[in-house]
Amino acid sequence: MKLRKDAIWFDDKIRDIQSQFSDYLEAKTQLKPREETLKIIALYVFIGGLWILLSDMVLSFLVRDPDMLIQLGTYKGWFYVALTGLIFYFIIYEKINLFKKAVDKIFEGFEDLSAAHEELLAMDEELIHQFDEIEKHRNALMISDQRYELAVEGANDGIWDWDLESDNYFFSLKGKGSFGYDDTEIPNRHDSWKQLLHPEDREKAVKLIESYLASQSGIYESTYRLKCKDGGYRWILSRGKGIWDKEGHPVRVAGSHTDITEYMELQERLYQEKELYQNIIHGAAVFILGVDTEGRIFEFNPFAEKLTGYTKNEVLGTKWFDMFIPQENRKQTDEIIQAILRGETIQNQENQVVTREGRRVDILWNNSVFRDSKGTILGIIAMGTDITERKAMESKLMSLAYYDGLTNLPNRQMFEKILKKQILQAKTNEKKLALLYLDLDNFKKINDTLGHHYGDKLLQGIADGLRATMKEGMNISRLSGDEFAVILPNVMDAKTFHSEVIAIMEAINKSWVIEGNELYITSSVGIAIYPDDGQDVQALLKNADTAMYAAKENEKNSFAFYTPEMHEKSLNFFNMEMDLRNALMNKEFILYYQPLINLSTGKIIGVEALIRWLHPERGMVPPNDFIPFAEESGAIIHIGEWVIQEACRQLKNWYNMELPQIYISVNLSARQIRQQDLIEKIIHITEEMGVDGRNLLFEITENVALHDLRQSIHTLNMLRSMNMRVALDDFGTGYSSLNYLKKLPIDMIKIDRSFVRDITEHLDERFIAKTIIDLAHNMDVIVTAEGIETETQYKILQEYGCDFGQGYLFSKPVPAEEIEKLLLRDKKIDN
Ligand code: C2E
Ligand code: MG
Ligand code: MG
């Protein structure tokens, strides 16, 4: 601005000086020294000439007097001098005056000039300074121009310039990059720009520039797409500034074009990603939760809202813990969160969440940390699945798998887990624990005789009773049918938990009334102590079981502590089972025979074949010591078959010896009754041996018969159809019901020796024996009394009309030769 003022002032000054000088120049043109001098001289010569010619003439004409003429000639000379002097005075004065004026003007001009010179000097300095400035600016501008050019080029940006007066619209981008237009292809007109606009953006973009131009101020900014040569479009950010004339008409707008296609695409991708992420969050049927490092909620999706009953707005910014985690789980959950924030991966983590109504839902979480672009952890994004139903199902399955359905007590698997845990605890605390193995005495009989339904009720009652005796830390499980186990932790010695054992046994050992039936039940308990009797679950269980068997054997309704001797005994049993497999092959079995006496005649009417095992090391093993194992292992089938064969062989032998005709009775075990080909085998043997079926009697115990009544009836009927006879052994020991007795096709009952034993002392037993005999006779069934040891017993039974008898009074079970002697004796008596 200043520069411009200076220039104007300088112009004026020059013009001023020029106008002054024109005066001098004019004066200079007037000042022609030679000509002026010649003019003056010529004038002088002319006037002088004229004067000389005319004055003398006039004077001579006028004055004729010579003197006068001479006089007047002198006067005329002086007049001439005066006149010419006057003329010259004016001429010279004028010229000198003009010269003076010129000199004055020159002087004035000089003064002005020197003032102007001063000014000019100052201005020159100023100009130099300004020139420097301009130069600097120019350089800066050049650099910035270059910079701009580089920036614009490098950034694939451009400039645009619209001269509205000429409608010249130029934009540099059109030839560049993706636009790729030739110079001439797109006319530099504003319309061309409009044509290149994307149809969707055109209206808006045109309106925007128009409204900017109308606004007459500010910065123009607009975003739109422009068409490229290849038909594609690129996003442009256009910015610019306008110039308006005095009337407010826009004259020119120019600015920059920035290609923001990549940015817009990125923005679009970001938008789409955001949309996608929002859709997932909104639509996902999982609990999506975002918490910052302080545990404050920043994301809470609709599923979470639905599940918890809280809205997102309600929970945003609140602490996740305070709002949703049950008090007792907060510490643990906090530890997990801290671990995740430290960068540890913790997946499939379960916890409970409390809903608005206070309901607890189980959630399975998958967590991931949420970071900013620098990798700083901002929080946690957790996705949770509602596993409440699954958990319920699991616990149901768990209870099915680990709890007994009937009594709801832990089952064997669960018990083993519990015991394992308790052992570990005892080990850590250096404490002892007691394992009680409980077995109900004769429960099988209850089940067999009164039915499973009845047995189940009893078991439930017992389980409830046992549960009631449990003190803190104690644990009770049902191991199998009638077996229970109790764990007593922290025991010092046997005395300290004696009362607990008694309480437990008393909970069982009492009379039970179930569905109107009263019965008395007892139990046997085996006790093993950790660590004395075993270090692990299996050893403890095995030893408590062994102790339980010992208790049972000893006397039912008792308890026994495990001792190493028991182990030895059970080891013996184990070995026996092994030996049993080879006994038949090694011909270690023999049959003893015990005579059956006709109580009225005193004669042998038959013998009962009773097996003996001549063990190479143990000596003679009684059947009660190995039959149960043989039964369990299945060896009884082959052993039983051998017994039948051997008995028949013996019978045939006696025939051949022409001894008195007797029958042989053979005991059948439960397995044999169920044996499919038993009858076939018997037919085969009898035919092979040539034995008359009439001389064979088969004994089955009451319990065996009742255990599988239908099968028993079938087998017994088959035997009887072959004229063989059938006896019900050990009658009175089971829960025999007369109803069953009626159904069974039997020829004989054998009163158990427990009745016979007490018959002499107890009136009750005597009465029972009498009743049984009468009942049997009423049903046409022969009665044999077992275990007659005394004459008195014999007498009483004889008196009651008991048909046959068997017992040490007559003979113990003896080898066949002994029987032969007895038979021979009878034969002699007969003869
Ligand atoms: P059981 O069939 O009731 O046999 C009678 C048992 O009573 C025999 O015992 C016999 O020795 C015993 N006994 C007989 N009279 C008296 C007496 O006056 N006083 C005493 N205290 N006992 C007497 P054993 O031979 O030890 O047989 C026991 C059980 O073993 C038998 O009872 C029978 O159930 C079973 N048994 C024996 N041999 C066989 C066999 O070959 N097969 C099957 N399945 N079981 C058999
Ligand atoms: Mg018998
Ligand atoms: Mg018997």
Chain segment 591-623, per-residue pLDDT in tens: 999 999 999 999 999 999 999 999 888 889 899
pLDDT at position 570: 66
Q: Which ligand is nearest to the CA of 621?
A: 1
CA of 308 relative to ligand 1 center, distance in Å: 74
Rg (CA), the chain: 71
789 CA: nearest ligand 1 atom = 18
Among protein residues, the one with the nearest Cα to ligand 1's atom 22 is 787
Q: What's the gap in Å between 785 CA and the centre of ligand 2? A: 11
Report residue 567 as tokens: 């182990």
Average pLDDT value over all residues in the chain: 86
pLDDT score, position 195: 92
Task: Tell me how far the alpha carbon of residue 191 lies from the centroid of ligand 3, in angstroms.
Answer: 125
Which single residue is written with the structure tokens 């000596």? 619
DSSP string, 146-191: HHHHHHHHHTT-EEEEEETTTTEEEEGGGGSTTT---TTTS-SBHH
| Distance in Å, CA 240 to ligand 3 centroid | 122
Interhelix angle 412-429/537-554, rounded to 10 degrees, is: 110
> Which of 241-245, 266-270, 393-397 has the weakest average pLDDT?
393-397
The stretch 714-737 carries a mean pLDDT of: 86
Most informative mutation of 589, 649, 749, 786 for ligand 1 (most atoms within 8 A of CB): 786
Q: Cα of 584 to ligand 1 centre, how many Å? A: 20
pLDDT for the residue numbered 23: 65
To the nearest 5 percent, what fractions of the chain are helix, strand and coil? 55, 20, 20
Spacing, Cα 586 to ligand 2 middle (Å): 25
Which residue from 607, 610, 625, 752 has its CB within 8 A of the most atoms of ligand 1, so it is best to mutate? 610
Give me the mean pLDDT over the 3-27 stretch: 65
- Rounded (5°) CA angle 114-120-126: 150
- Shortest-distance ligand to the CA of residue 596: 1
pLDDT digits (tens, 9 = 90+) for 23-50: 666 766 666 777 777 877 887 788 778 7
Other CB atoms within 10 A of residue 247 CB: 5
Ligand nearest to the CA of 787: 1
Q: Which of 792, 818, 666 is nearest to 729 (CA)?
A: 666
Q: Is 646 in the pocket of ligand 1 (CB under 6 A)?
A: no
With beta carbons less than 8 A apart as the criterion, state whether 824 and 659 touch. yes
Report, as an integer, the average pLDDT of 231-241.
92
Asked if the model's pLDDT at residue 711 lies above 90, the reply is no
Residue 655 CB burial class (10 angstroms; 0-12, 13-18, ≥19): middle
Counting residues of the chain whose pLDDT is more than 90, the rounded percentage is: 43
Taking the CA of 731 as reference, the closest ligand is: 3
Pick the ligand that lies closest to the CA of residue 698: 2
590 CB within 6 A, ligand 1: no
What are the CA-CA distances from residue 272 to residues 56, 264, 266, 375 (Å)? 131, 12, 10, 23
Q: Which atom of ligand 1 is nearest to the CA of 750?
A: 3
**Ligand 1 nearest-atom number relative to CA 611:** 38
3-class SS at 387? Answer: coil
> Does the pLDDT of residue 64 top 90, yes or no?
no
732 lines ligand 1 (CB under 6 A): no
Can you give the pTM of this predicted structure? Answer: 0.45
pLDDT of residue 466: 93
Q: In what order do the strands lie in the sheet with 377-386?
A: 297-300, 287-292, 377-386, 360-371, 349-354
- Report the half-sphere exposure of 535 (CA within 13 A, side-chain side): 1
**Percent of the chain having pLDDT more than 70?**
92
Single out the residue of 786, 791, 703, 711 nearest to residue 745, CA to CA: 711
Q: How far is the CA of 610 from the centre of ligand 1 (A)?
A: 6
> What value does the mean pLDDT take over residues 129-137?
79
pLDDT tens digits, residue range 314-342?
999 999 988 899 988 888 888 888 888 88
Binned at pLDDT 50, 70 and 90, residue 747 comes out as very high
Q: What pLDDT score was predicted for residue 6?
A: 58
- Measured from the Cα of 669, ligand 1's closest atom is 44
- Report the pLDDT value the prediction gives residue 219, as an integer from 0 to 100: 93
Report the separation in Å between the CA atom of 749 and the middle of ligand 2, taken as the mean of its atom positions. 10
Q: Which pLDDT band, with edges at 50, 70 and 90, does 151 fall under?
A: low
Q: What is the set of domains in the chain, with CATH numbers?
A: 2-153 (no CATH), 156-265 (3.30.450.20), 284-392 (3.30.450.20), 403-562 (3.30.70.270), 585-830 (3.20.20.450)
| Weakest mean pLDDT among 148-152, 162-166, 409-413, 563-567 | 148-152
> Could you tell me if the CB of 386 is within 6 A of ligand 1?
no
What's the burial of 275, exposed, middle or buried (CB within 10 Å: 0-12/13-18/19+)?
A: exposed
Label residue 14 by pLDDT band (50, 70, 90): low
Nearest-atom number in ligand 1 for the CA of 752 is 3
The finding on whether 752 has its CB within 6 A of some atom of ligand 1 is no
> How remote is the CA of residue 657 from the centroid of ligand 2, in Å?
26
Name the pLDDT band for 569 (thresholds 50, 70, 90).
low
679/135: higher pLDDT: 679
- Predicted pLDDT at 25: 65
Residue 215 CA to ligand 2 centre (angstroms): 126
Tell whether ligand 1 has an atom less than 6 A from the beta carbon of residue 667.
yes
Residue 685 has pLDDT above 90, yes or no: yes
Atom number in ligand 1 closest to CA 668:
44
- Residue nearest to ligand 1 atom 46, measured at CA: 667
**What's the confidence (pLDDT) of residue 555?**
67
| CA distances from residue 405 to 391, 399, 415, 814 in whole angstroms, order as listed | 19, 8, 14, 51
Ligand 1 lined by 630 (C-beta under 6 Å): no
State yes or no: pLDDT of 148 exceeds 70.
no
The residue whose CA has the least distance to atom 25 of ligand 1 is: 610
Q: Which two tokens stand for residue 635?
A: 């060896």
682/754: higher pLDDT:
682
685 φψ region: left (φ > 0), alpha (ψ -120 to 50), beta (else): alpha
The rounded Cα 132 to chain-centroid distance in angstroms is 76
Distances in Å between the Cα of 745 and the Cα atoms of 500, 709, 712, 714, 781 are 49, 11, 9, 9, 10
Q: What pLDDT sits at residue 238?
A: 93
How much is the pLDDT for 405? 87
**Which protein residue's CA is at the shortest distance from atom 27 of ligand 1?**
623
On whether the CB atoms of residues 224 and 239 are closer than 8 A, the answer is: no
pLDDT at position 86 over 90: no
Using a 6 Å cutoff on CB, does residue 595 contact ligand 1?
no
Phi, psi of 115 (to 5 degrees): -65, -45
> What is the enclosing helix (H) or strand (E) of 595?
strand 589-598
Testing ligand 1's pocket by substitution, the residue of 625, 667, 702 carrying the most ligand atoms inside 8 A of its CB is 667
Looking at residue 68, what is its pLDDT? 77
Q: How many angstroms is it from 597 CA to the middle of ligand 3?
A: 15
Say if ligand 1 is within 6 A of residue 784 CB. no
Q: Residue 631 Cα, ligand 2 centroid: separation in angstroms?
A: 16
Q: Dihedrals φ, ψ of 372, to 5°?
A: -90, 180
For ligand 2, the distance from its centroid to the CA atom of residue 465, given in whole angstroms, is: 38
Residue 551: predicted pLDDT: 87
Q: Is the pLDDT of residue 704 over 70?
A: yes
Q: How far is the CA of 729 from the centre of ligand 2 (A)?
A: 6
* Residues facing residue 319 across a β-bridge: 296
Handedness of CA 106, 108, 110, 112 (dihedral sign): negative
Q: What are phi and psi of 643, to 5 degrees?
A: -60, -45
Q: Comparing C-alpha atoms, which of 561, 415, 545 is closest to residue 477?
A: 415
| Position 63 confidence tier, pLDDT thresholds 50, 70, 90 | confident
pLDDT of amino acid 597 = 96
Question: Does the beta carbon of 715 sit less than 6 angstroms from any atom of ligand 1?
Answer: no
Cβ of 669 closer than 6 Å to ligand 1, yes or no, is yes
327 lines ligand 1 (CB under 6 A): no
Say if residue 527's pLDDT is above 80: yes
What's the pLDDT band for 815 if we cut at 50, 70, 90?
A: very high
Local confidence band at 826 (pLDDT 50, 70, 90 cut-offs): confident
